[in-house]
Structure 1
Amino acid sequence: MININVTLLIQMGNFLVLLFLMNLVLYRPIRRIVAQRKQFVDERQAEIERMDADVKASIESFNQKIQDARRLGREKIQELKAAAYEQEKELTQKAVEQAGKQLQEMRAQIQEEIRGARDQLSGQVKAFSVELAQKILGRSL
Protein backbone atom coordinates (compact mmCIF):
# COMPACT_ATOMS: atom_id res chain seq x y z
CA MET A 1 0.00 0.00 0.00
CA ILE A 2 0.91 3.59 -0.44
CA ASN A 3 1.70 5.57 2.60
CA ILE A 4 1.47 9.35 2.50
CA ASN A 5 4.27 10.83 4.53
CA VAL A 6 7.20 13.21 4.22
CA THR A 7 8.94 11.12 1.55
CA LEU A 8 6.07 11.82 -0.82
CA LEU A 9 6.71 15.54 -0.44
CA ILE A 10 10.45 14.99 -0.97
CA GLN A 11 9.74 12.89 -4.08
CA MET A 12 7.44 15.62 -5.40
CA GLY A 13 10.08 18.24 -4.74
CA ASN A 14 12.67 16.02 -6.41
CA PHE A 15 10.37 15.64 -9.42
CA LEU A 16 9.79 19.40 -9.68
CA VAL A 17 13.54 20.15 -9.40
CA LEU A 18 14.28 17.48 -12.06
CA LEU A 19 11.52 18.89 -14.26
CA PHE A 20 12.95 22.42 -13.89
CA LEU A 21 16.52 21.23 -14.63
CA MET A 22 15.42 19.17 -17.65
CA ASN A 23 13.48 22.16 -18.91
CA LEU A 24 16.62 24.31 -18.65
CA VAL A 25 19.06 21.75 -20.01
CA LEU A 26 17.01 19.71 -22.47
CA TYR A 27 13.60 21.06 -23.47
CA ARG A 28 14.37 24.77 -24.02
CA PRO A 29 17.40 24.15 -26.31
CA ILE A 30 15.43 21.60 -28.33
CA ARG A 31 12.44 23.97 -28.64
CA ARG A 32 14.83 26.81 -29.63
CA ILE A 33 16.47 24.58 -32.30
CA VAL A 34 13.04 23.51 -33.57
CA ALA A 35 11.93 27.17 -33.70
CA GLN A 36 15.12 28.15 -35.57
CA ARG A 37 14.61 25.29 -38.03
CA LYS A 38 10.98 26.30 -38.55
CA GLN A 39 12.07 29.92 -39.14
CA PHE A 40 14.76 28.73 -41.60
CA VAL A 41 12.23 26.56 -43.48
CA ASP A 42 9.69 29.42 -43.54
CA GLU A 43 12.32 31.82 -44.91
CA ARG A 44 13.32 29.33 -47.62
CA GLN A 45 9.67 28.72 -48.46
CA ALA A 46 9.08 32.48 -48.77
CA GLU A 47 12.19 32.76 -50.97
CA ILE A 48 10.95 29.88 -53.14
CA GLU A 49 7.54 31.54 -53.51
CA ARG A 50 9.18 34.88 -54.37
CA MET A 51 11.42 33.22 -56.98
CA ASP A 52 8.42 31.33 -58.35
CA ALA A 53 6.55 34.62 -58.69
CA ASP A 54 9.60 36.15 -60.42
CA VAL A 55 9.76 33.22 -62.83
CA LYS A 56 6.04 33.49 -63.59
CA ALA A 57 6.42 37.24 -64.15
CA SER A 58 9.40 36.62 -66.45
CA ILE A 59 7.47 34.01 -68.42
CA GLU A 60 4.50 36.36 -68.70
CA SER A 61 6.79 39.16 -69.84
CA PHE A 62 8.43 36.85 -72.37
CA ASN A 63 5.06 35.73 -73.71
CA GLN A 64 3.91 39.35 -73.93
CA LYS A 65 7.06 40.27 -75.85
CA ILE A 66 6.47 37.36 -78.23
CA GLN A 67 2.88 38.48 -78.81
CA ASP A 68 4.03 42.07 -79.36
CA ALA A 69 6.68 40.89 -81.83
CA ARG A 70 4.13 38.78 -83.70
CA ARG A 71 1.67 41.67 -83.81
CA LEU A 72 4.41 44.01 -84.99
CA GLY A 73 5.42 41.47 -87.63
CA ARG A 74 1.84 41.19 -88.88
CA GLU A 75 1.56 44.98 -89.01
CA LYS A 76 4.86 45.21 -90.91
CA ILE A 77 3.68 42.55 -93.36
CA GLN A 78 0.43 44.48 -93.91
CA GLU A 79 2.39 47.69 -94.46
CA LEU A 80 4.68 45.97 -96.95
CA LYS A 81 1.71 44.42 -98.74
CA ALA A 82 0.02 47.81 -98.95
CA ALA A 83 3.20 49.42 -100.26
CA ALA A 84 3.63 46.61 -102.80
CA TYR A 85 0.00 47.00 -103.88
CA GLU A 86 0.48 50.74 -104.36
CA GLN A 87 3.68 50.15 -106.32
CA GLU A 88 1.91 47.51 -108.41
CA LYS A 89 -0.91 49.97 -109.07
CA GLU A 90 1.55 52.66 -110.14
CA LEU A 91 3.45 50.27 -112.39
CA THR A 92 0.21 49.01 -113.92
CA GLN A 93 -0.98 52.56 -114.48
CA LYS A 94 2.32 53.50 -116.12
CA ALA A 95 2.18 50.39 -118.29
CA VAL A 96 -1.41 51.20 -119.31
CA GLU A 97 -0.45 54.80 -120.10
CA GLN A 98 2.59 53.67 -122.06
CA ALA A 99 0.50 51.08 -123.94
CA GLY A 100 -2.09 53.79 -124.64
CA LYS A 101 0.61 56.12 -125.99
CA GLN A 102 2.05 53.34 -128.15
CA LEU A 103 -1.45 52.51 -129.37
CA GLN A 104 -2.06 56.16 -130.27
CA GLU A 105 1.30 56.33 -132.05
CA MET A 106 0.53 53.14 -133.95
CA ARG A 107 -2.94 54.43 -134.90
CA ALA A 108 -1.43 57.70 -136.07
CA GLN A 109 1.18 55.79 -138.06
CA ILE A 110 -1.50 53.53 -139.56
CA GLN A 111 -3.64 56.60 -140.43
CA GLU A 112 -0.59 58.16 -142.07
CA GLU A 113 0.08 54.97 -144.03
CA ILE A 114 -3.61 54.80 -145.02
CA ARG A 115 -3.48 58.42 -146.27
CA GLY A 116 -0.31 57.67 -148.19
CA ALA A 117 -1.86 54.53 -149.65
CA ARG A 118 -5.05 56.45 -150.56
CA ASP A 119 -3.08 59.20 -152.22
CA GLN A 120 -1.06 56.65 -154.11
CA LEU A 121 -4.14 54.60 -155.00
CA SER A 122 -6.16 57.66 -155.95
CA GLY A 123 -3.46 58.60 -158.46
CA GLN A 124 -3.43 55.04 -159.76
CA VAL A 125 -7.25 54.87 -159.80
CA LYS A 126 -7.37 58.11 -161.77
CA ALA A 127 -4.92 56.77 -164.30
CA PHE A 128 -6.71 53.42 -164.34
CA SER A 129 -10.14 55.04 -164.76
CA VAL A 130 -8.86 57.20 -167.64
CA GLU A 131 -7.36 54.12 -169.27
CA LEU A 132 -10.57 52.11 -168.71
CA ALA A 133 -12.73 54.95 -170.10
CA GLN A 134 -10.52 55.08 -173.18
CA LYS A 135 -10.87 51.37 -173.72
CA ILE A 136 -14.63 51.49 -173.23
CA LEU A 137 -15.09 54.50 -175.46
CA GLY A 138 -12.47 53.39 -177.88
CA ARG A 139 -10.94 56.81 -178.09
CA SER A 140 -8.57 58.91 -176.09
CA LEU A 141 -9.66 61.45 -173.59
Structure 2
Amino acid sequence: MIDLNATFFVQLVNFVLILILLNVILIGPIRRVLKKRAEFMASQMEGIESFTTSADAKLKGYESALEAARVAATAGRMAMKAEGQAKEKEMLDAASAEAVSTLQAAKAEIASQSAAAKKALEGKVSGLASKAVARVLAA
Protein backbone atom coordinates (compact mmCIF):
# COMPACT_ATOMS: atom_id res chain seq x y z
CA MET A 1 0.00 0.00 0.00
CA ILE A 2 1.12 3.57 -0.68
CA ASP A 3 1.76 5.84 2.24
CA LEU A 4 1.22 9.52 1.76
CA ASN A 5 3.97 11.02 3.83
CA ALA A 6 6.48 13.87 3.43
CA THR A 7 8.63 12.00 0.89
CA PHE A 8 5.67 11.78 -1.42
CA PHE A 9 5.29 15.54 -1.42
CA VAL A 10 9.05 16.04 -1.79
CA GLN A 11 9.04 13.71 -4.79
CA LEU A 12 6.03 15.54 -6.23
CA VAL A 13 7.80 18.90 -5.88
CA ASN A 14 10.95 17.33 -7.31
CA PHE A 15 8.94 16.01 -10.29
CA VAL A 16 7.33 19.39 -10.94
CA LEU A 17 10.72 21.18 -10.69
CA ILE A 18 12.32 18.68 -13.09
CA LEU A 19 9.37 19.08 -15.46
CA ILE A 20 9.73 22.87 -15.43
CA LEU A 21 13.52 22.67 -15.79
CA LEU A 22 13.28 20.23 -18.73
CA ASN A 23 10.66 22.45 -20.37
CA VAL A 24 12.96 25.49 -20.09
CA ILE A 25 16.20 23.73 -21.05
CA LEU A 26 15.15 21.05 -23.53
CA ILE A 27 11.56 21.16 -24.73
CA GLY A 28 11.30 24.97 -25.20
CA PRO A 29 14.35 25.29 -27.51
CA ILE A 30 13.25 22.26 -29.52
CA ARG A 31 9.80 23.80 -29.97
CA ARG A 32 11.37 27.14 -31.05
CA VAL A 33 13.61 25.36 -33.57
CA LEU A 34 10.66 23.40 -34.95
CA LYS A 35 8.60 26.60 -35.20
CA LYS A 36 11.44 28.41 -37.03
CA ARG A 37 11.81 25.45 -39.35
CA ALA A 38 8.08 25.39 -40.11
CA GLU A 39 8.15 29.16 -40.84
CA PHE A 40 11.21 28.73 -43.07
CA MET A 41 9.56 25.89 -44.98
CA ALA A 42 6.38 27.97 -45.40
CA SER A 43 8.38 30.91 -46.77
CA GLN A 44 10.27 28.57 -49.09
CA MET A 45 6.98 27.10 -50.35
CA GLU A 46 5.65 30.62 -51.01
CA GLY A 47 8.83 31.42 -52.95
CA ILE A 48 8.52 28.21 -54.93
CA GLU A 49 4.86 28.87 -55.71
CA SER A 50 5.57 32.46 -56.82
CA PHE A 51 8.47 31.25 -58.97
CA THR A 52 6.29 28.55 -60.52
CA THR A 53 3.52 31.06 -61.20
CA SER A 54 6.03 33.48 -62.74
CA ALA A 55 7.58 30.72 -64.85
CA ASP A 56 4.13 29.61 -66.09
CA ALA A 57 3.24 33.20 -67.01
CA LYS A 58 6.54 33.65 -68.85
CA LEU A 59 6.05 30.35 -70.67
CA LYS A 60 2.55 31.36 -71.75
CA GLY A 61 3.90 34.73 -72.90
CA TYR A 62 6.67 33.00 -74.84
CA GLU A 63 4.22 30.60 -76.46
CA SER A 64 1.84 33.41 -77.42
CA ALA A 65 4.73 35.45 -78.86
CA LEU A 66 5.92 32.39 -80.76
CA GLU A 67 2.43 31.79 -82.13
CA ALA A 68 2.17 35.46 -83.15
CA ALA A 69 5.53 35.18 -84.91
CA ARG A 70 4.35 32.04 -86.72
CA VAL A 71 1.17 33.80 -87.84
CA ALA A 72 3.16 36.83 -89.00
CA ALA A 73 5.65 34.63 -90.84
CA THR A 74 2.83 32.70 -92.52
CA ALA A 75 1.13 35.93 -93.55
CA GLY A 76 4.43 37.29 -94.88
CA ARG A 77 5.10 34.08 -96.78
CA MET A 78 1.63 34.12 -98.30
CA ALA A 79 2.02 37.79 -99.29
CA MET A 80 5.37 37.08 -100.90
CA LYS A 81 3.92 34.06 -102.69
CA ALA A 82 1.03 36.15 -104.02
CA GLU A 83 3.46 38.87 -105.11
CA GLY A 84 5.64 36.27 -106.85
CA GLN A 85 2.63 34.78 -108.62
CA ALA A 86 1.54 38.25 -109.75
CA LYS A 87 5.04 38.98 -111.09
CA GLU A 88 5.10 35.57 -112.78
CA LYS A 89 1.74 36.26 -114.45
CA GLU A 90 2.95 39.70 -115.51
CA MET A 91 6.15 38.25 -116.99
CA LEU A 92 4.26 35.44 -118.74
CA ASP A 93 1.75 37.93 -120.17
CA ALA A 94 4.60 40.16 -121.40
CA ALA A 95 6.41 37.17 -122.92
CA SER A 96 3.18 35.96 -124.53
CA ALA A 97 2.48 39.40 -125.98
CA GLU A 98 6.06 39.60 -127.28
CA ALA A 99 5.77 36.13 -128.81
CA VAL A 100 2.47 37.09 -130.50
CA SER A 101 3.98 40.29 -131.89
CA THR A 102 7.10 38.44 -133.06
CA LEU A 103 4.90 35.78 -134.69
CA GLN A 104 2.77 38.41 -136.40
CA ALA A 105 5.89 40.24 -137.59
CA ALA A 106 7.30 36.96 -138.94
CA LYS A 107 3.99 36.17 -140.73
CA ALA A 108 3.93 39.68 -142.22
CA GLU A 109 7.54 39.30 -143.34
CA ILE A 110 6.80 35.91 -144.91
CA ALA A 111 3.69 37.30 -146.59
CA SER A 112 5.61 40.28 -148.01
CA GLN A 113 8.45 38.04 -149.22
CA SER A 114 5.90 35.64 -150.74
CA ALA A 115 4.14 38.51 -152.46
CA ALA A 116 7.45 39.89 -153.77
CA ALA A 117 8.50 36.46 -155.04
CA LYS A 118 5.09 35.93 -156.65
CA LYS A 119 5.31 39.33 -158.32
CA ALA A 120 8.82 38.62 -159.55
CA LEU A 121 7.74 35.24 -160.92
CA GLU A 122 4.60 36.63 -162.56
CA GLY A 123 6.77 38.81 -164.78
CA LYS A 124 8.85 35.80 -165.82
CA VAL A 125 5.92 33.42 -166.27
CA SER A 126 5.24 34.31 -169.91
CA GLY A 127 8.95 33.95 -170.77
CA LEU A 128 9.20 30.63 -168.96
CA ALA A 129 5.96 29.38 -170.53
CA SER A 130 7.20 30.20 -174.03
CA LYS A 131 10.51 28.43 -173.30
CA ALA A 132 8.64 25.39 -172.01
CA VAL A 133 6.37 25.36 -175.07
CA ALA A 134 9.40 25.74 -177.34
CA ARG A 135 11.08 22.81 -175.72
CA VAL A 136 8.00 20.68 -175.88
CA LEU A 137 7.51 21.52 -179.52
CA ALA A 138 11.17 21.10 -180.32
CA ALA A 139 11.33 17.73 -178.88
TM norm structure 2? 0.80
Gaps in structure 2 of 5+ consecutive residues: none
What is aligned with 2:49?
49
Q: Give the superposed CA RMSD.
A: 2.6
Task: Quote the Cα distance in structure 1 between the aligned partners of 2:80 and 2:133.
Answer: 78
Gaps in structure 1 of 5+ consecutive residues: none
Task: Quote the Cα distance in structure 1 between the aligned partners of 2:51 and 2:23.
Answer: 40
Shift of 1:108: 1.0
What is aligned with 2:82?
82
Task: Quote the Cα distance in structure 1 between the aligned partners of 2:119 and 2:61.
Answer: 85
Deviations 1:43-76 (A, max 9, x none): 1122122223323333333333333333332332
Change (3 A) 1:102 1:59: same
What is aligned with 2:110?
110
Stretch deviating more after TM superposition (64-73 or 38-47): 64-73
The runs of at least 4 aligned residues of structure 1 exceeding 4 Å deviation read: 132-136
What is aligned with 1:23?
23
TM norm structure 1? 0.79
Change (3 A) 1:122 1:28: same
Identity rate, percent: 28
Structure scoring higher RCO (CA < 8 A, sep ≥ 6) equals 1
Shift of 1:31: 0.9
